[in-house]
Amino acid sequence: MKPIIAIVGRPNVGKSTLFNRLVGRRKAMVDDMPGVTRDRNYAEVNRFDIPFILVDTGGFEPETSDRLLQQMREQSRFAMDEADLILFVMDARGGLTPADRDVVDMLRRINKPVFYIINKVDGEKQEAEAGDFYSLGVDHIHTISAEHNRGVGDLMDEVLAALPYNREKEPEEEITKIAVVGRPNVGKSTLVNRLLGYERVVANPTAGTTRDAVDTRFTVNKKPYLLIDTAGIRRKGKTVQKVEKYSVMDALRSIERADVVLIVLNAEEGVTEQDSKIAGYAYEAGRACIFVVNKWDALEKDNSSIAKFTEEIRRNFKYLPFAPILFVSAQTGQRTGKIIAEVDQVMEQYCKRVTTGELNRVFTQAVDENHAPLSAGRRVKFYYATQVAVKPPSFVVFTNCPEGIHFSYERYIMNRFREAFGFNGTPLKLIFRGRD
């Protein structure tokens, strides 16, 4: 399980600047994908081969000054419940505020690593301004400049060392790991019971106590499957607002550990903002995806209902055109029997390998038929492509100009690979690497 690092702090202290600094994504990746860019407040990060999930808690609610303190308490509580390590950011320019003190008082009582960060210390001169903060009397005070990348490397060295992370790799299992994700009340528990084929009683951890995932093994036609975090799915009894907020994190944790993600939607309610967030994360995590439209029994249907709903999904999840869609009723069992067969199919594609010979036949033809546009007046040349990984299938393409390839061209190449090899249900990764 990847550890979660939460960034907490007042508005404007530089949380998102720090977040972006640490995530350091290529911008073109997100620009072209509606739905993925919105509310990007969590990301999977790999630093020196140590993976973790970074959460910017600032993005959860609109920030208004009268509710500031309450919000900070909420953010911190969220971080205290969910995160494995907390980065509490303060602002050297704004100085130490009562709200900061209040949160520090909360954080110092918890039993998790907390790093106290003074941001906007842009140079030696500003170090002096940070003096105030030492009166807090806490360990791990770090002065940084997120904007100018000052002190961030040193900070992260210590953060990584403090992570409760198990460096031993889990042994690869020949088992298909399935995550069932979706908003509250879309019918996840009901669906899980269907898939397991019986009503299974799972302990119901109360809020704030251990959040260990409970995975459930089951077999279909002697083939083993693992249903991820069934306890998380069944955890109930929180206020509606909290459940809404937490469910994205629950989904995120499950997605991280899955091969195939069942994105459950509610036929009665259509696609919502939160569905987009969850699906966006499944896409970014590079997992195989299947849309499961549940409560199909409850809908007044006519001949065009399936086509209309399909269109709504395709329009809202433009980045997941490859994900199959199933229309089911977890309650009546209508078509739920098809889910595992579909899981098997996308899993096969998710693990598929194509030979370098086959790949380059398709790749050369694609390039011949549609040349890459010039990059800064320079002709883009390609040498060859090779598959370097599965889960998801990932390809390296050698070129003279790795930075100059536009996202739309990348997508064109991916589509040609899909036409030739299928890859239904799985995302693909294309990596351009330089070679002169």
Residue (of 412, 405, 407) closest to 434 by Cα position: 405
Residues 350, 368: Cα–Cα separation, whole Å? 28
Written as six digits, the tokens of 287 are 């997992």
Written as six digits, the tokens of 97 are 């505020």
Closest distance of CB 80 from ligand GDP, Å: 19
Among 71, 143, 254, 294, binds ligand GDP (CB under 6 A): 294
Rg (alpha carbons) of the chain, rounded to whole number: 24
List, in order, residues 6 or more apart from 126 with CB less than 8 Å away.
92, 93, 120, 143, 145
Among 32, 102, 122, 344, binds ligand GDP (CB under 6 A): 122
SS3 140: coil
Contact between 336 and ligand GDP by CB under 6 A: the answer reads: no
Instruction: Choose the binding region for ligand GDP from 32-40, 305-313, 324-332, 354-362 (rule: CB under 6 A).
Output: 324-332
Amino acid, single-letter form, for residue 42: Y
> What single string gives the DSSP state of each residue in 237-272?
-S-HHHHHHHHHHHHHHHHHH-SEEEEEEETTTB--
Closest distance of CB 89 from ligand GDP, Å: 7
Site for ligand GDP in 140-199 (CB under 6 A): 145-148, 182, 184-190
Q: Which is nearer to ligand GDP, 184 or 324 (CB)?
A: 184
Residues 284, 374: Cα–Cα separation, whole Å? 28
Among 119, 276, 387, 399, binds ligand GDP (CB under 6 A): 119
Among 2, 4, 6, 15, binds ligand GDP (CB under 6 A): 15
Residues 183, 311: Cα–Cα separation, whole Å? 20
**Residue 55, annotated as binding a ligand:** no
Contact between 232 and ligand GDP by CB under 6 A: the answer reads: no
Residues 215, 205: Cα–Cα separation, whole Å? 14
Closest distance of CB 38 from ligand GDP, Å: 16
Q: Which is nearer to ligand GDP, 14 or 392 (CB)?
A: 14
Closest distance of CB 425 from ligand GDP, Å: 22
SS3 167: coil
Largest CA distance in the chain: 71
**Residue 232, annotated as binding a ligand:** yes
Q: Which is nearer to ligand GDP, 119 or 399 (CB)?
A: 119
Contact between 305 and ligand GDP by CB under 6 A: the answer reads: no
Contact between 17 and ligand GDP by CB under 6 A: the answer reads: yes
The helix, strand and coil proportions of the chain, stated in percent and rounded to the nearest 5, come to 40, 20, 40
Closest distance of CB 141 from ligand GDP, Å: 16
Task: Tell me, residue by residue from 127 to 146, as one string, x for binding to ligand GDP by CB under 6 A and - for no binding.
Answer: ------------------xx
Among 40, 120, 142, 235, binds ligand GDP (CB under 6 A): 120
Residues 183, 250: Cα–Cα separation, whole Å? 10
Residues 166, 6: Cα–Cα separation, whole Å? 19
**Residue 11, annotated as binding a ligand:** yes
The annotation places the binding site for GTP at 9-16, 56-60, 119-122, 182-189, 229-233, 294-297
Sites of contact with ligand GDP (CB under 6 A): 9, 11-17, 58, 119-120, 122, 145-148, 182, 184-190, 233, 294-295, 297-298, 329-331
